[in-house]
Amino acid sequence: MQKKRVGVITFHNYDNYGAILQSYALQKKLQEIGTQPEIIDYRCDYISNPFRLVNLKKKGLFNYIYGAIGHICYIPRRFKCNRFRKHMRYSQPVTQGKMQPVAGKYDIYIAGSDQIWDYKLTNFDTTYFLDFVKEGKKKCSYAASIGENLPPEEYQQKYKELLSDFDEILVREDYGADIVENLTEKRPEVVCDPTLLLTAEEWDKLLVEPKYKEKYILVYQLGINKEIVDFARRLHNKTGYRIVYIPFPLVGLLKCDCKITVGPAEWMGLFKNAEYVVSDSFHGVVFALIFNRKFFAKVNGHHMNRRVQQLLNLVKLTDRTMDDVSYEKLTEEIDFTYANEQIARFREHSMEQLRQMTSED
């Protein structure tokens, strides 16, 4: 029996650790369940070129500067990110409006994961809604994220039309399910981020172990927030542990080892072996949970908010936020028993949804 060909469109080509690892994870699991997956090598021009002045008006000054800083931070790690991408299989490169080479190539098309349906991030690039796919092909999503709030009224009709054309929708967040239900009058299933589909043992086969012999605090900072730098200093003063920072302290001075060139494999190795993890990143929290590392999350910054809070609610670790942590509680141990059980259940539920989605005609 011929394997079903699956084309996945997602944020795969940005040198962001979470984007690369979730792309790998979904493709890996699609292979395991007997399909022949391929990542559609699509690049969103709006995301790939954050320095264009036309983006300044659309993004606003803060988001424009923030995007530019992020883009610069990613450049030193590009070689190692590309090396990790050799684990994945890609289509030929395609661009918006020129999707014909992949428009009918696959039996099933999957949009996701990541925040591909957030109009603000992509300038409402409808390619991520599979609008290029030929009629008769199955259109689905896996763990797609739509943003934290209902899109503005001027976008809602177009969202409704695009989403209503899907055969099956699986989203990553409860509030994403609320938004899709509001737009389509059908509630989608919630599944886990693809990175959670793999166990620590599976990720361990891909990571590179760090050379540190002594204990260290890993800080992975994406947003511009001095509180993270101050918290890392506070934790260092309490423990005496070295601070390892990815990529470097944003808005603040701190004695630390800055890691600006690590790739996804080295990044995972640093997480696995950290004594503590401090992060404002969703995937930073995810990998702290996967490797059962003591962690503190910044949940009210530019990058996180509701998606991380939902994850912490699932595993009943809402007390692991940076806000209002007393000096005495900084070094408390975490019992990961319940968290691991919940993640295992969520993983199996999500895998079952993925199996059903790819097996049904």
CATH topology of domain 5-190: Rossmann fold (3.40.50)
107-123 average pLDDT score: 94
At 24 the pLDDT is 98
Name the band, by pLDDT with cuts 50, 70 and 90, for residue 326: confident
Spell out the residues 6+ positions from residue 26 whose beta carbon is closer than 8 angstroms to its own.
8, 10, 37, 110, 112, 113, 142, 143, 194, 197
Strand 257-258 and strand 276-279: the pairing is unpaired
200-342 belongs to which homologous superfamily?
Answer: Glycogen Phosphorylase B; (3.40.50.2000)
pLDDT tens for 40-92 read 999 998 887 766 655 555 656 666 666 666 667 778 899 999 999 999 999 99
At 240 the pLDDT is 97
At 303 the pLDDT is 46
- The dihedral built from the CA positions of residue 53, 59, 63 and 67, taken in this order, carries a sign that is negative
Question: Does residue 5 or residue 48 have the better pLDDT?
Answer: 5
Average pLDDT of the residues of the chain: 92
At 301 the pLDDT is 54
Tell me if residue 344 falls in helix, strand or coil: helix
pTM, to two decimals: 0.93
pLDDT tens for 79-92 read 999 999 999 999 99
Question: Does residue 232 or residue 58 have the better pLDDT?
Answer: 232
In contact, 322 and 227? CB cutoff 8 Å: yes
192-206 average pLDDT score: 98
At 68 the pLDDT is 67
At 278 the pLDDT is 97
- pLDDT > 90 in the chain, percent: 80
51 burial type by CB count under 10 A (0-12 exposed, 13-18 middle, 19+ buried):
exposed
pLDDT tens for 255-266 read 999 999 999 999
Predicted confidence (pLDDT) at residue 314 exceeds the cutoff of 60: yes
Q: Output phi, psi for 313, to 5 deg.
A: -65, -40
Which residues make up the CATH 3.40.50.2000 domain(s) of the chain? 200-342
Predicted confidence (pLDDT) at residue 342 exceeds the cutoff of 70: yes
At 300 the pLDDT is 72
